Structure 1
Amino acid sequence: MTATIEDAVRSAVAAVTDPELRRPIGELDMVRDIGVTAGVAHVAIVLTIVGCPAADRISADVRAAAASVAGVESVALEVGVMTAPERQALTERLRGGRPAREMPFGPGSLTRVIAVTSGKGGVGKSTVTANLAVALAARGLAVGLVDADVHGFSIPPLLGLVEPDGSVPQPTRIDDLMLPPVAHGVKVISIGMFLRRREGDAPLGAVAWRGPMLHRTVQQFLTDVYFGDLDVLLLDMPPGTGDVAISVGQLLPNADVLVVTTPQAAASDVAVRSGLVARQTGQRVVGVVENMAAMTLPDGTPFTLFGSGGGAAVADALSDAEAVVPLLASVPLSPSLRADADAGVPAVVAHPEDPASVAITGIAATIAGEPRGLAGRSLPLRPN
């Protein structure tokens, strides 16, 4: 009978999910000794690193799992830390046999990579990207988000990844792997996570880097961050067609590109260039999003602060005989979209009924509903 209870406790504990790695701790070899004596379950587990930020969550979940087994009256939990060889074995297992610093999102990957670009700044590209990522995750997809706008990073605060002192939580490190923080179901990495606020400073530190450093940063985000198996990886690109756009074109020639513009000609004319440069690197422009489009006033009157027609003009300019680039959505001006962004809660979560949220959710539905071409791709299947 005791052996049966011990087996049940081991099974329950092994099924507990590591909130950072998103995999059962039994699969991660974090469960050690299990014993049951006079109704007391003695459970020993190990964490990946000293000071693991998920320690309290894992401990509480393990206690609850063990206590849920019939015949267990109390739980005595012992928590240790993996040895260096155990961590090395874990990182090798997480890489799935890939060598260290090999980029997992290149041609042949089953993850759909979408670079969200714009010709100029100030068109709301990052706000659209953050909300789109959360809307995709809400549809049950595994979503990662790389804040590739190194100089103008803004994704962490848009998703509420800000500590009380104004700093951004850092990724957890397991040897040479980084585990990205998760917000609203989206795994996020940004240069802002590596800049610490000095006492008395209002903003986070500025980044003054040129081409080689920018390329290395984007490359490390794609190789050294453990995103796990993703359905979609979004990249919030910097405005324009500079170093980062060229680097992403070299590293991810298989990426799709989503162009964000506003209705006014000053933005739409420049947005076309970002799509053309992406196409020159072999990337595919899959659609245009017109942000800050006309909003409907309470009396029913349309309010076109930035004019109209810019999104359709960009889509037409990027379409050719080989492929038609659609205008996926016109996202109207929205006080809620702006206020929720400042509050660190995506509008698709805080105000899903808002017209802007509805438009972005529609983009997510379109992206999620597009079939993936698997021709020539290596599927992770093994014969019995």
Structure 2
Amino acid sequence: MNHTSCDSGAQKPLQPLEVPSAIARIKSKIVVLSGKGGVGKSTVAANLAAGLALEGLKTGLLDVDVHGPSIPRIMGLAGIKPDMAGDTILPVEWNWNLKVVSMGFFLPNPDEPVIWRGPVKGGVIKQFLHQVAWGDLDCLVVDCPPGTGDEPLSVMQLLGPDAVALVVTSPQDVAIDDVRRSVAFCRELGNPVLGIVENLSGFHCHQCGTVHDIFKSGGGEKLAEASGVPFLGRIPIDTEVGKAADQGEAYLAVKGTSPAALAFRQVVLAAVAHTEAASATLRAGA
């Protein structure tokens, strides 16, 4: 069986979808991807968005993980329901610079599973981009579920070729094998890769101050080098990062001087540089 196409002939190239007018006023779009689950992708996405907002950039955070939306908990917004203006969704504001939308805001019962097929999920993602009052944003960060399936594909097609990917991996070879496919996925669609982040890269011990390589390290950097994309750094395991996410205080991971905070900071600065470049390009074309 051909697992990439139901057609017995050659696979047809994917066509870009119509770009929603609601996102035409967004200067840069960063899609957080990973071919592997459990690598801390949502934590990276949340802290990236929070970090951009704390840098003074008008930022949006869109969680399109339909089956396991974790952004509301990480951002301390669980149980909040967005307001509506007619058919338009008004994003939930985390602070004055960050607007958040997640499937988790619309679930009537958070304990019930979402059992949807691809077309329905694609329709919801389209609604989140077409019918959300994002307004003028410097950057939209999109948190996708793991893999290269319906959600990442819909997001990339809707956002268009100027959307860039931030690919998250953990150090193990089993993760690197899957994440390599995410890089290939972006190239197949024609979307640039902003860089690769190696998360869970060693354990930072607060008592002795050293980093212990529990899952080894260096896999993300080797993948970046082999793929010809930037390596944005290693984020060590830090119990305070997980604790902050459970308590809905994602901003803690981009403040302070801990190794994890400094690593997050490097990712944020790379995103700031990309956003400034995208803004300059838009001004030049105006």
TM-score range, shorter chain: 0.7 to 0.9
User: Structure 1 length normalisation: TM-score?
Assistant: 0.64
- The residue aligned with 1:47 is none
Distance change >3 Å, CA 222–CA 378, structure 1 → 2: farther
The structure 1 residue matched to 2:124, chosen from 217, 229, 234, is: 217
Q: In structure 2, what residue type is equivalent to 1:189?
A: V
Please state which structure has a larger fraction of its residues in helix.
Answer: 2
User: In the alignment, is the contact (CA less than 8 A) between 1:336 and 1:354 conserved in 2?
Assistant: no
Residue 372 of structure 1: how far off its partner (Å): 1.8
Alignment of 1:144 onto 2:67: no
Alignment of 1:112 onto 2:21: no
Aligned residues: 264
Alignment partner of 1:231: what SS? Answer: strand
The structure 2 residue matched to 1:372, chosen from 257, 271, 277, is: 277
- The residue aligned with 1:246 is 153
- The residue aligned with 2:247 is 343
The structure 1 residue matched to 2:83, chosen from 152, 172, 183, is: 172
Task: Work out the CA distance in 2 between the residues paired with 1:214 and 1:356.
Answer: 34
Task: Work out the CA distance in 2 between the residues paired with 1:121 and 1:311.
Answer: 15
Task: Work out the CA distance in 2 between the residues paired with 1:232 and 1:311.
Answer: 25
State the structure with bigger RCO (CA 8 A, min sep 6), 1 or 2.
Answer: 2
User: Structure 2 length normalisation: TM-score?
Assistant: 0.85
Alignment of 1:271 onto 2:189: no
- The residue aligned with 1:11 is none
User: In the alignment, is the contact (CA less than 8 A) between 1:134 and 1:348 conserved in 2?
Assistant: no
Moved more, 223-232 or 288-297: 288-297
Long gaps (5+) in structure 1: 1-100, 163-167, 198-202, 320-324
- The residue aligned with 1:355 is 259
- The residue aligned with 2:50 is 134
Residue 278 of structure 1: how far off its partner (Å): 1.6
Task: Work out the CA distance in 2 between the residues paired with 1:292 and 1:125.
Answer: 10
Task: Work out the CA distance in 1 between the residues paired with 2:208 and 2:20.
Answer: 56
The structure 2 residue matched to 1:161, chosen from 77, 85, 105, is: 77
Distance change >3 Å, CA 380–CA 225, structure 1 → 2: farther
Residue 366 of structure 1: how far off its partner (Å): 2.2
Task: Work out the CA distance in 2 between the residues paired with 1:350 and 1:368.
Answer: 14
Q: In structure 1, what residue type is equivalent to 2:82?
A: P
Please, what is the CA RMSD of the aligned residues?
2.2
Long gaps (5+) in structure 2: 1-18
- The residue aligned with 2:192 is 284
Residue 243 of structure 1: how far off its partner (Å): 0.8
Task: Work out the CA distance in 1 between the residues paired with 2:87 and 2:153.
Answer: 26
- The residue aligned with 1:262 is 170
Q: In structure 2, what residue type is equivalent to 1:345?
A: E
- The residue aligned with 1:208 is 115
User: Equivalent pairs: percent with the same residue?
Assistant: 41
